[in-house]
Amino acid sequence: MPDYDAIIIGAGQSGPALAGRLVGAGLKIAFVERKLFGGTCVNTGCTPTKTLVASAYAAHLARRAADYGVTIGGTIKVDMKAVKARKDGVVAKSRDGLENWLKTMEGCTVYEGHARFVAPNKVAVNGQELSADRIFLNVGARATIPEIPGLDQVPYLTNSSMMDIDFLPAHLVILGGSYIGLEFAQMYRRFGSDVTVIEASPRLAAREDEDVSHAIADFLGEEGVDVRVKSEVVGVEKQGNSVAVKVQSDGKTSQIVGTHLLVAIGRRPNTDDLGLDKAGIATDARGYIQVDDQLRTNVPGVWALGDCNGRGAFTHTSWNDYEIVAANLLDNDKRRVSDRIQAYALYTDPPLGRAGMTEAEVRKSGKSALVTTRPMERVSRAVEKGETKGFMKILVDRDSKQILGASCLGLAGDEVIHCILDVMYAKVPYTVLQRAMHIHPTVSELIPTMLGELQPLQ
Ligand SMILES: Cc1cc2nc3c(=O)[nH]c(=O)nc-3n(C[C@H](O)[C@H](O)[C@H](O)COP(=O)(O)OP(=O)(O)OC[C@H]3O[C@@H](n4cnc5c(N)ncnc54)[C@H](O)[C@@H]3O)c2cc1C
């Protein structure tokens, strides 16, 4: 007899919710977490960064107070200890609530320790072996540390250790000009640090369309973030209390000296110390656990959810994974990963909200498409708020009239994108959204107007 009906490893975004559903269905479960309940999102990802972004925004707006006719006496100062304390308070509330919920959940036994497979249906935690016919992996990912000469000889920060900072780095050098690096870059610039971003690709956020990348580089540059693209880091060394980063760009080598170094070049799955070989669970070349459209691994009775399966890298994709697994197991509802539409946001200010295909992807697909764009300078809500950076772009399939994708880089772009995303899920022609009466004055009210201005994609 197995010890439990199910074992869940990892208290990220899908594991705890799944525990609630399984227990509700009468299953006896073991829940294993090795460190912080809530995982990356709650402790070192979305929640703390967006809380810090809010502090940075307050500082930025205070500096711009005169633009709005508001007088603030003296210079704007940022109290980094108070900023961190505010962030810690928000994080602790979320983590403690989740931990308490799991530990008091009837039918759920929590084990605090690192779990490893010892057999396909058995894991060991703190020297104790637990067995179950169903095992769910929600083990997440961590920062990738590249093999750069000298990096192991200098102190460097990741998204996790950044959470302990309660002082202002004089000069923060960030390796990586993508989503994580850019949020930290703008945030610390607004706190008052000098910030340099080093990116190997020819542009920032290189997966986005060129116009989006350039607009982001423009507003970060205007705020004083030093952006170095097409720059390969070839070495790092300590120089007194500083860190020197050697960079090659266009065949020339130069040096950037900062007081602190943040490594934000990507993520890798936490699958290297999970004993997957003992269970025969297959991974791809980068260590992501291979799953099918219902998130089943190659070993019957083992599922992988969240960042560790390589099918998404967001809190909402991990949460959607939970919904898919629960629907298939408990509701006889055959939900699939392939049902979902790509969607995410970048929380710079202004934020970027994205849904579906980029313009580059549409072009590559060879589809006959229509496009409409509008600068935020022509959105009255943005003008009224004095926040007119960015633009919105929507792409439509000319034949089916369905929306293919959108990028909303501008005020409330992370919210506005949802009116487009929901119409994409509804699989209705764009004309349904074009005829909707939206509220004035909002950014979203311009979406129907934009859809009335579609032009062939040249
Ligand atoms: C700086 C940053 C900002 C981000 N911002 C956003 C954002 O704004 N929006 C968004 O959607 N996404 C964001 N993300 C991504 C998001 O945080 C993750 O996609 C999300 O947390 C999903 O993670 P998960 O459920 O796969 O697992 P995680 O949240 O990574 O949790 C995995 C858990 O498993 C535990 N674990 C691992 N191995 C074992 C083991 N062997 N035994 C026991 N326990 C184990 C870990 O301790 C951890 O608690 C951000 C990420 C970072 C780094």
- Taking the CA of residue 14 as reference, the ligand 1 atom at the shortest distance is 25
DSSP string, 220-250: HHHTT-EEE-S-EEEEEEEETTEEEEEEEET
- Alpha carbon 387 to chain centroid, angstroms: 24
Residues 6+ apart with CB under 8 A from 56: 186, 187, 188, 190, 191, 349
Residue nearest atom 39 in ligand 1 by C-alpha distance: 139
**What's the rounded Cα separation, in Å, for the pair 170 and 219?**
21
User: HSE of 198 in the Cβ direction (CA atoms, 13 Å)?
Assistant: 24
Question: CA nearest 194: which of 225, 155, 163, 156?
Answer: 225
**Residue at 175: amino acid letter:** L
Ligand 1 centroid distance, CA of 304 (Å): 13
Best residue for ligand 1 mutational test, from 18, 32, 46 (most atoms within 8 Å of Cβ) = 46
What pLDDT is stored for residue 457 in this prediction?
A: 97
- Taking the CA of residue 125 as reference, the ligand 1 atom at the shortest distance is 42
Ligand 1 centroid distance, CA of 207 (Å): 21
- Taking the CA of residue 10 as reference, the ligand 1 atom at the shortest distance is 34
Best residue for ligand 1 mutational test, from 40, 116, 317 (most atoms within 8 Å of Cβ) = 40
Walk across the sheet containing 194-198 and list its strands.
Answer: 226-228, 194-198, 171-175, 260-263
pLDDT tens, per residue, the chain with 458 residues = 779 999 999 999 999 999 999 999 999 999 999 999 999 999 999 999 999 999 999 999 999 999 999 999 899 999 999 999 999 999 999 999 999 999 999 999 999 999 999 999 999 999 999 999 999 999 999 999 999 999 999 999 999 999 999 999 999 999 999 999 999 999 999 999 999 999 999 999 999 999 999 999 999 999 999 999 999 999 999 999 999 999 999 999 999 999 999 999 999 999 999 999 999 999 999 999 999 999 999 999 999 999 999 999 999 999 999 999 999 999 999 999 999 999 999 999 999 999 999 999 999 999 999 999 999 999 999 999 999 999 999 999 999 999 999 999 999 999 999 999 999 999 999 999 999 999 999 999 999 999 999 999 99
Tokens 């959810």 found at: 305
114 catalytic? Reply is no
Ligand 1 centroid distance, CA of 208 (Å): 23
Ligand 1 centroid distance, CA of 438 (Å): 36
Of 214, 260, 418, 440, which is the active-site residue?
440
What pLDDT is stored for residue 2 in this prediction?
A: 78
Ligand 1 centroid distance, CA of 434 (Å): 37
Residue nearest atom 7 in ligand 1 by C-alpha distance: 46
Burial per residue of 139-170, b for 16 or more beta-carbon CB atoms within 10 angstroms, e otherwise? bbbbbeeeebebbeebebbbbeebbebeebbe
**What's the rounded Cα separation, in Å, for the pair 138 and 147?**
27
Best residue for ligand 1 mutational test, from 41, 51, 53 (most atoms within 8 Å of Cβ) = 41
Please, are residues 383 and 357 in contact by the beta-carbon 8 Å criterion? no
Ligand 1 centroid distance, CA of 45 (Å): 7
Please, are residues 172 and 193 in contact by the beta-carbon 8 Å criterion? yes
Please, are residues 154 and 261 in contact by the beta-carbon 8 Å criterion? yes
Residue nearest atom 3 in ligand 1 by C-alpha distance: 45
- Taking the CA of residue 318 as reference, the ligand 1 atom at the shortest distance is 25
Ligand 1 centroid distance, CA of 41 (Å): 5
- Alpha carbon 434 to chain centroid, angstroms: 30
Burial (CB < 10 A; 0-12, 13-18, 19+), residue 76, is: middle
Neighbours of 123 (CB within 10 A): 26
Residue nearest atom 17 in ligand 1 by C-alpha distance: 41
For residue 429, give the 3-state DSSP assignment. coil
Residues 6+ apart with CB under 8 A from 54: none
Residue nearest atom 21 in ligand 1 by C-alpha distance: 41
- Taking the CA of residue 13 as reference, the ligand 1 atom at the shortest distance is 25
Ligand 1 centroid distance, CA of 52 (Å): 18
Helices (H) and strands (E) in the chain, counts: 13, 22
The pTM for the full model equals 0.97
Q: Left if phi > 0, otherwise alpha if psi is -120 to 50, otherwise beta: which for 380?
A: alpha
Report residues whose beta carbon is within 6 angstroms of any ligand 1 atom. 9-14, 32-36, 39-41, 44-46, 49-50, 114-115, 138-141, 159, 180, 270, 274, 306-308, 313-316, 318, 347
